[in-house]
Structure 1
Amino acid sequence: MATASTTTKEDLGRPSHSPEDPPQAAEGEKPAPRTKRIASLDIFRGLTVAVMVLVDDAGGEWPVITHAPWNGCNFADFVMPFFLFIVGMAIPLSLKRIPDRGVAARRVMVRTLKLLFWGVLLQGGYSHAPDKLTYGVDMKHIRWCGILQRIALAYTIVSLLEILTKNATVETQSPAKSSIFKLYYQQWLLGFCILVICLLVLYATYVPDWEYTVHNIESLDYGKVFTVKCGTRGRLDPPCNAAGYVDRQVLGINHMYQRPAWKRSKACTYSSPHEGPFRKDAPAWCQAPFEPEGILSSIASILSTIIGVHYGHVLIHMKSHMDRLKQWVAMGATLLILGILLHFTHAIPLNKQLYSFSYICVTAGAAGLVFSTFYFLVDILGLRNFFLPLEWIGMNAMLVYVMAAGGIFAGFVNGWYYDGPNNTLVYWIQKHVFIKVWHSTRVGTLLYVIFAEILFWALVSGVLHRLGIYWKL
């Protein structure tokens, strides 16, 4: 995640191939160009990777763009569902070219295993890059969940369903005779079942009191055991929600994320939304682990992928640009409005940590509208050159994810230091070229991430694209 026209990358959404038959234009409309790629999908993927790097490395100084401490939806909260939407959209486009179901299923499983491997390696605690020049993880505390693991789950489930329900007659059937929703009703039935199960578990599961031990050696409470009082059901607050309870029971509390976003909430620190020292009256759960990519929320996230698959089906069946855009924009706007209404009527709050239904609707709707915008600008108006840096990143998304978002390249550079590990080229550039020039840590950090990370990797990806080199899973 080879050549540009054959490489596939479902792990982060690639490939972005359109149907092999050239789209036919509606009467009076400019015909859709003959192309093997949907450039807008590469650009959308590149934008998502770039935003991930931005919020990961600049979010500490700019908390308005990082994950919301609990309820709400900040800039960073769109990244994960955007990835899943892109993965979903790529699934029917890539599997369309593999007629043999057995071959397709084997390819899906192999890529799933690769995703799981890289996910555990990068987010399980083994890699300490870029700041610490060490590696290794105590298996008693390894983190099993993460971004790539969630993508692997959604990709596997939806891909296998796409393979099992694949029908040559369906692929050639005109949506004028039968709605695309009806043609692929099995996938929407799966989505409905997932939604019902997740809501039942979230609102009906009894959550008892629980306890945890503080493992953060920098904390004044290191080694202490705290008890969190719950004894309730149907609550969506940080300490007593069913998603956390399921993860503690199945994964084990020591295998969950140790620095959840809720540590920046007003109940925990006066520095909110920044991270800071805990309040003296902070509740017991503030230092507890919580898994934002946990089991229940990952199951719910499959819905984001199913919505993306629908957009891919529209691309396959609809033959004109305007027919596609009408379908995409209508669905995107409907989902966005529904999610906003659910949140502001206090029916179901927006919550990335729980992957709530309103959050699914808002983020999937936004993904559909953003992609539709890129499709209009790039694939219809032909403004592709304006977005080339994002397209290059999107065509080598796995490389940029591992090297930049995963901190592997920065960790490698930090390994070559002068007189001490805090005196490295990365730190020197950040401090002297950006922060000191602007006399601001916030502005300097933001510009460093934009130019020394995102733009740098865009240029690297552009060179690799010229050479026909891609990171393929």
Structure 2
Amino acid sequence: MMGVSIVLSQRSLRSKNLQKRNILLKICRRTIILFVLGLSEQDGVPKLENLRIFGVLQRLATCYFFTAIIVLVFDKKYDERDTTRLSICDNEKQSLCRELFNSTLQFWIQWFVVLMIMTVWILITFLVHVPNCPTGYLGPGGKHDHGKYMNCTGGSAGYIDRLILGNTHLYNEPTCKEIYHTKVPYDPEGILGILTGILLCYLGVQAGHSFIYSTRVRRICIHWLISGIICGSIGLILSRGGHSNSWIPINKNLWSLTFVLILASLAFFILTILYLLVDVNRWFTGSPFLWLGMNSIALYIGHGRFGTSFPVQFDVDNTHAKQLAIHLYGAFFWSFIAAFMYYKKIFIAI
């Protein structure tokens, strides 16, 4: 959705004759705000030598920045087509070949840059030598594979973070630690994952281009569904159907290429369904997702600060039923806050 918003917002700004340098300043401002908000999410008052550099919002900020720059630098000159109207109201006739060129092929330079970024990710992941570890290792280290690769957590991704950022600036409690008893820190929002995050964000840009340049609802949906099928198929092939012992396993902690492709595939399908339900047929208003989306950053920060405190959450027994109930309550709590802000017209944007 960030990629889709990049397309719509930049075209809106260009339609107002805003210069590219001014758009660049807006991109930088938004990036810095997101990054600083991410840094402020850390518990307590951390010392500078122990400050975690990257996190969820920092990942969003960096992926947004590089994707927005790619779109800004390599976008064609703005045309006069009105991009604010819904395609359901658009009766313009356009050949399928022309539509394919407008929505995809004319942006070949952007695709080339993104594919080069993915090539860099593949080369670093599978060719960089990590001391005392097998080249191309993608496992959790620790007790994995009978403890043969104790300090190889994350392979080259973990090695690069520890080399550039240092152990003290990384996340020290990765999910693999509880199971594999890893000994070295590993950050699931580290540097290398930014590259695959850019691909995910740019696939959203492609969804936005399909929406902008397609002239019929059916073609928009076909574009998105075919994109979802292509992404999902490549992801399943590279992961051998989701097998952990594959060329590129589907791994969220690594933000592996297959994880991003499967995630994008699901996003294309869900976007198509919601577009038909909400915008085209109006069978669904979009609530509560609409409320949550209008103040997503504010709610995320609020949950980070108060998500483990009363009245958002309180201590219950560690049973499946009670844990499920308390987490469902938390989701309803923030949905209520989002609804209150929405109907009071309180919108916090960056």
Identify which of 124, 139, 152 aligns with 2:48. 139
Q: Say if 1:102 and 1:290 are closer, same or farther in 2 by CA, change over 3 A.
A: same
Amino acid at match of 2:64: Y
More relative contact order in 1 or in 2 (CA 8 Å, sep 6+)? 1
Residue in 2 that maps onto 1:367: 267
Deviations 1:127-148 (A, max 9, x none): 2xxxxxxx21021111001111
Contact 2:38 2:57 in 1 (8 A): yes
Q: Which residue of 2 aligns with 1:283?
A: none
Matched, 1:358 2:267: no
Rounded to whole Å, the distance in 2 between the matches of 1:455 and 1:441 is 20
Describe the superposition over 1:13-67 as per-residue Cα deviations: whole angstroms up to 9, x where unpaired.
xxxxxxxxxxxxxxxxxxxxxxxxxxxxxxxxxxxxxxxxxxxxxxxxxxxxxxx
Partner residue in 2 for 1:380: 280
Structure 2 distance, partners of 1:427, 1:242, is: 38
When the two chains are superposed, the root-mean-square deviation of aligned CA atoms in Å is: 2.1
Structure 1 Cα separation of the partners of residues 80 and 325 of structure 2: 47
Gaps of 5+ in 1: 1-85, 128-134, 209-229, 269-285, 415-423
2:53 partner SS:
coil
**Structure-2 separation of matches of 1:426 and 1:454:** 9
Q: Report the equivalent of 2:11.
A: 96
Q: Distance in 1 between matches of 2:332 and 2:215?
A: 36
AA matched with 1:154: C
Is 1:347 equivalent to 2:225 in the alignment? no
| 1:358-382 per-position Cα deviation (integer Å, ceiling 9, x unaligned) | 1121111111111111111111221
> Paired residues, what number?
316
- Asked if the contact 2:62–2:194 (Cα under 8 Å) also holds between the matched residues in 1, the reply is yes
Q: SS state of the match for residue 206, structure 1?
A: coil
Alignment of 1:25-64 (within 5 A): none
Letter of the 2:38 partner, please give it.
G
Structure 2: tracts of 5 or more residues without a match:
83-93, 142-151
Cα pair 1:172 1:317 within 8 Å, conserved: no
Cα distance in structure 1, aligned partners of 2:79 and 2:105: 10
2:117 to 190, 194, 197: 194
- Deviation readout 1:277-297 (Å, 9 max, x if unpaired): xxxxxxxxx132101111111
Distance 1:360 1:109, change over 3 A: same
Aligned to 2:199: 303
- How big is the shift at 1:176? 4.0
**Structure 1 CA distance for aligned equivalents of residues 135 and 109 of structure 2:** 32
Query: Is 1:248 the equivalent of 2:162?
Result: yes
Match of 1:237 among 129, 135, 139: 139
Alignment correspondent of 1:463: 340
Q: Percent identity?
A: 25
2:222 alignment partner in structure 1: 326
1:142 alignment partner AA: L
Output the TM-score relative to the length of structure 2: 0.84
How far apart in 2 are the matches of 1:318 and 1:113?
A: 34
* Amino acid in the other structure paired with 2:25: R
Between Structure 1 and Structure 2, which shows a larger proportion of helix residues? 2
Identify the residue that residue 119 of structure 1 maps to in structure 2.
38
2:172 paired residue among 258, 263, 266: 258
Q: Distance in 2 between matches of 1:311 and 1:410?
A: 33
